Amino acid sequence: MNIHQLSWKNFRNLYAGKIEPCGGVNVIFGKNAQGKTNLLEAMWLFTGERSFRGAKDLELVPEENSSALLEMHFESENREQTAKITISGGRRSVELNGVSKGSCSALTGKFCAVVFSPEHLSLIRGGPALRRNFIDLALCQMKPGYAALLSGYNHTLIQRNALLKDIPRHAELLDTLGIWDDRLCRYGERVIRQRTAYLKALSAPAAGFYSGISSNKESLSFSYRKSAEDLRRALAENRQEDLLSGHTGAGPHRDDIDVFINGRSARSYASQGQKRSAVLALKLAEAELLSRMNGERPVVFLDDVMSELDAGRQDYLLNHLAGFQVFVTCCEPGAARLMKSGALFRVEDGTIASSPVP
Ligand SMILES: Nc1ncnc2c1ncn2[C@@H]1O[C@H](COP(=O)(O)OP(=O)(O)OP(=O)(O)O)[C@@H](O)[C@H]1O
Ligand SMILES: [Mg+2]
C-alpha cells in the first residue's frame, strides 16, 4: 500500500493543494494548529472508516454549505488506483477508479492504514472498554464474520438484561432465562475464542516492535483477562446477583487485556514514554498482522508521536520500519535530522510544501 499523491479542496483549513509523498518515511512538521493532523485525517478517510478524531462529516468542511473534495492516487493490489471523496451537506460520496460507489464502505480493504494519535494513549491509561474495542475493531477488519458475531452477542446481552429487569415483576418469565443463557454462551464463547487467538497472534510482533523501540532494553507482553473462566457456569452462579442488579455480570463484555512492560502492569507502572511506546507497538503489530493477511503493508499514520520519546526511540520510528510507508507529524523539523532517508513537508496555515531534509 503506497500513497503516490493526495490533493484536496476545502478540507477543514486545507483550502487547496497537493502532496506527493515518498514511499518510506514522510515527516510533516509545522507549528500548532497549522493543519498537520487535518492532512493525516484526509488520507485516513480513504480507509472508508470514520475520522480517527471521531469528527462528524459536517465538521470536515470550512463552512456548512461548502463541499470538500479529496483525491488520492495510490498503489494497492499491485496497480495504481484513484479514489475521490466528496463531503457535502454532511454526507460523503465516493468514486473508485472512475466508478461512483454508494457508500464509503466501498473503500474498505482497498486502502488500508493504521493510525496512532495521542488519544490512543487511553488504550493503556483508560478503562477496559477501550482495549476490548481495539481488538474488536481489528478483528472486524480481519475476520469477515466477526462483526456479525459480536453484534449477535451484544444483541443477546441486551435482551437478557431486559429480561432480568422484567422477572421481578413477572415471575413466570424466569423459566425463559435459560434460553438466553444458552444463546449468550454460544455467542460469547466464540467471541472469547476469537479475541484470545487474535491476541496470541499479536503478541510476537508487538513484543518485537516494542523491543526495537526500546533498543532491546525492555519487554512488552499482554494477556486476555476473562471475567469468567467458564461462562456457562458463571452465568448460573451469578444468576441471583444478575436478577438483583438487572445486568449480566460476567461475559466478554466485561473482559480486559492486561498489558505488561518488563512484567509489570503498564497502566500502573509505565512512564509516559513507555505507555506511548506500548501503544505504538500494538498499532504496528496490528499493521503487521493486516499485511500478513492482505500481502500488503498498510500505511502508518503517526500523529504527534515524537514528543516524550527519546532520540533512540525516535530513531527507531524514523529508520527501522522497513517496508511501511509512514507519515509522522511533529512541531519541529529537528526530528527529521535523525532520518536517514525520507521526505520532509512543512505545513503553514493550511498550505503544505516540500522542504529540504536538514
Ligand atoms: N472545518 C474546519 N474548517 C476550517 N478550519 C478548521 C476546521 N476544522 C479545524 N480547523 C482548523 O484547522 C487548524 C489546524 O488543525 P490541525 O488539528 O490540523 O492542527 P495541527 O497542525 O495538527 O496542530 P497541533 O500541532 O496543535 O496538533 C486549526 O486552527 C483548526 O481550527
Ligand atoms: Mg495535530
Residues 103 and 129 placed together within one structural domain of the fold: no
β-bridge partners, 9 = 16, 69
Distance (Å, rounded) from C-alpha 119 to C-alpha 136?
18
Strands 91-96 and 79-88: antiparallel
Strands 68-76 and 2-11: antiparallel
Residues 13 and 72 placed together within one structural domain of the fold: yes
- Structural domain includes residue 308: yes
- Structural domain includes residue 276: no
Section 87-98 average pLDDT: 93
pLDDT band for position 80 (cuts 50, 70, 90)? very high
Pocket test for ligand 1, best of 11, 27, 31, 34 (most atoms within 8 A of CB): 34
Percent of the chain scored above 70 by pLDDT?
100
Does 87 have pLDDT greater than 90? yes
pLDDT at residue 143, rounded to an integer = 86
pLDDT band for position 308 (cuts 50, 70, 90)? confident
Residues 6 and 79 placed together within one structural domain of the fold: yes
Ligand 1 center from residue 234 Cα (angstroms): 49
Residues 194 and 142 placed together within one structural domain of the fold: yes
pLDDT at residue 358, rounded to an integer = 75
pLDDT band for position 334 (cuts 50, 70, 90)? confident
The answer to whether the Cα torsion of 349, 354, 356, 358 is positive or negative is positive
- Edge-first strand listing for the sheet containing 220-225: 220-225, 256-261, 264-265
Distance (Å, rounded) from C-alpha 148 to C-alpha 136?
11
CA atoms within 13 A on the CB side of 53: 13
CA 30 centroid distance within chain? 24
Domain range for 169 is: 124-266
Return the minimum-mean-pLDDT range out of 138-142, 163-167, 243-247, 266-270. Answer: 138-142
Residue ranges in 214-238 assigned as alpha helix (H)? 231-237
pLDDT at residue 297, rounded to an integer = 94
pLDDT band for position 252 (cuts 50, 70, 90)? very high
Residues 140 and 54 placed together within one structural domain of the fold: no
pLDDT at residue 245, rounded to an integer = 96
Planar angle of CA 27, 29, 33, nearest 5 degrees: 140
37 lines ligand 1 (CB under 6 A): yes
> Which CATH number do you get for residue 351?
3.40.50.300
Section 3-17 average pLDDT: 97
Q: Which residues contact 104 (CB under 8 A, 6 or more apart)?
A: 45, 48, 49, 85, 92, 94
In the chain, what's the furthest Cα-to-Cα distance? 76
Query: CB–CB of 46/74 below 8 Å?
Result: yes
pLDDT band for position 258 (cuts 50, 70, 90)? very high
Section 136-155 average pLDDT: 92
- Structural domain includes residue 19: yes
Mean pLDDT, all residues of the chain: 94
Ligand 1 center from residue 163 Cα (angstroms): 47
- Structural domain includes residue 232: yes
Ligand 2 center from residue 301 Cα (angstroms): 12
Query: CB–CB of 277/207 below 8 Å?
Result: no
Residues 134 and 250 placed together within one structural domain of the fold: yes
Residues 19 and 105 placed together within one structural domain of the fold: yes
Residues 194 and 259 placed together within one structural domain of the fold: yes
62 lines ligand 1 (CB under 6 A): yes
Distance (Å, rounded) from C-alpha 318 to C-alpha 302?
11
Q: Ligand 1 atom closest to Cα of 35?
A: 18
Pocket test for ligand 1, best of 9, 12, 67 (most atoms within 8 A of CB): 12
In total, how many domains does the chain have? 2
CA 174 centroid distance within chain? 41
Distance (Å, rounded) from C-alpha 125 to C-alpha 244?
31
For the chain, percent helix, then strand, then coil, each to nearest 5? 45, 25, 30
- Set of cell numbers at residue 244: 438483583
- Structural domain includes residue 242: yes
> Which CATH number do you get for residue 236?
1.20.1050.90
pLDDT band for position 102 (cuts 50, 70, 90)? confident
**25-77: pLDDT as tens digits:** 999 999 999 999 999 999 999 998 889 998 999 999 999 889 999 999 999 99
- Structural domain includes residue 221: yes
267 lines ligand 1 (CB under 6 A): no
**For every residue of 15-66, which 3-state class applies, written as one string?**
EEEEECCCCCEEEEECCCCCCHHHHHHHHHHHHCCCCCCCCCHHHHCCCCCC
- Structural domain includes residue 274: no
Element (H, E) at 278: helix 272-294
pLDDT at residue 129, rounded to an integer = 96
Residues 208 and 253 placed together within one structural domain of the fold: yes
Residues 84 and 200 placed together within one structural domain of the fold: no
**172-220: pLDDT as tens digits:** 999 999 999 999 999 999 999 999 999 999 999 999 999 999 999 999 9
Residues 235 and 129 placed together within one structural domain of the fold: yes
48 lines ligand 1 (CB under 6 A): no
- Structural domain includes residue 317: no
Any idea which residue has 469477515 for its cell?
Answer: 144
Residues 241 and 340 placed together within one structural domain of the fold: no
